[in-house]
Structure 1
Amino acid sequence: MINFNYETNFVLDNEELISKWVQEAIASEGFKLEEINYVFCDDEYLHKLNVEFLNHDTLTDIISFDYTVGKIIQGDIFISVERVVDNAKEFNTVFSDELSRVIIHGVLHYCGYKDKTDEDAQLMRDKENHYLSQLL
């Protein structure tokens, strides 16, 4: 099950399509979906979580809390809509594409992909692009 929650003045206009896309990506990676809660929020909300739970006093576009057990995906993904808007401008892309990238990025973490090293980050980006091509 995928749940979409809103802590800011934003509503995803294609929840059903995004939900199906995420579920197909999870299955393609050899995992089973139990539950993902997406929470769309603003910078202030996400910054507070970043400080409280991760001791990072910075703005970020996404924080994911992974409760995956084995191959059963479970977690909470918090996305700052404000950061996604800024990222879209910075990377010269449209908001909906950048939002989709962030949405799948959190799921890929649950599937075991990392992004701390350059090599891992490139693999993560390749996977993001692969799944984005299936959505767009």
Structure 2
Amino acid sequence: MEKLVDIVIEEPRWETAGLEDLAERAAGAVLAELGLPGEGFVMCVMGCDDDRIAALNADFRGKPKPTNVLSWPSEDRAPEVAGATPDLPEPGDSDDPEELGDIAIAWGVCQAEAAEQDKPFADHVTHLVAHGVLHLLGYDHETDEDAELMEGIEIRALARLGIANPY
């Protein structure tokens, strides 16, 4: 079976946290929840530290501070109407999978949030990767309607993995 997620580890603690497995499970659960196959797609998830994500946040969003997760879709799939479902991509094949985009996730912010919210670290990371995957697929939370749609998918995808509602 082909890998859905390519992993880049810049912060070594992500290795011991099992980011590769967590990201693969999160991405697979989101695709399954949306009725998409678990094959024919590829994305990259980078496990980095807070300094790196702060620099990325400054470069791409004009916010020079650390955040938990960032995503860069390979194309704009967002719908025109608030609360509408994005046009989901068609899968490629094993030789030429459909590129969904890139996600970066920060170790320190994730650790602090999981502790503050009294959640298992692995569950929090899985939720944030699922959140990032939905951004790659054109979902957003800019309006109440969009947030409601996106959060509902996150909740159901995480339930597939036995993870409690993060909201």
Answer whether TM exceeds 0.5 for this pair.
Answer: yes
Higher relative contact order (CA 8 A, sep 6+): 2
C-alpha contact (below 8 Å) 1:3/1:36 kept by paired residues: yes
Q: Name whichever structure is richer in strand by fraction.
A: 1
Structure 1 match to 2:45: 38
- Secondary structure of the residue aligned to 2:65 is coil
> Cα gap change, 1:83/1:132 in structure 2, threshold over 3 Å: closer, same or farther?
same
Shift of 1:17: 6.5
1:85 and 2:111 are equivalent in the alignment = yes
Structure 1 match to 2:30: 25
5+ residue gaps, structure 1, are none
Give the structure-2-normalised TM-score: 0.70
5+ residue gaps, structure 2, are 78-87, 90-97, 163-167
1:55 and 2:58 are equivalent in the alignment = no
The Cα RMSD (Å) is 2.3
C-alpha contact (below 8 Å) 1:84/1:98 kept by paired residues: yes
Rounded to whole Å, the distance in 1 between the matches of 2:66 and 2:22 is: 28
Larger radius of gyration: 2
C-alpha contact (below 8 Å) 1:38/1:78 kept by paired residues: yes
Query: How many pairs are equivalent?
Result: 136
Give the structure-1-normalised TM-score: 0.84
> Cα gap change, 1:112/1:55 in structure 2, threshold over 3 Å: closer, same or farther?
same
C-alpha contact (below 8 Å) 2:100/2:137 kept by paired residues: no
> Cα gap change, 1:78/1:134 in structure 2, threshold over 3 Å: closer, same or farther?
same
C-alpha contact (below 8 Å) 2:48/2:104 kept by paired residues: yes
Shift of 1:119: 3.2
CA deviation string 1:23-61 (max 9, x = no partner):
352254255643211000111000001111221122210
> Cα gap change, 1:8/1:84 in structure 2, threshold over 3 Å: closer, same or farther?
same
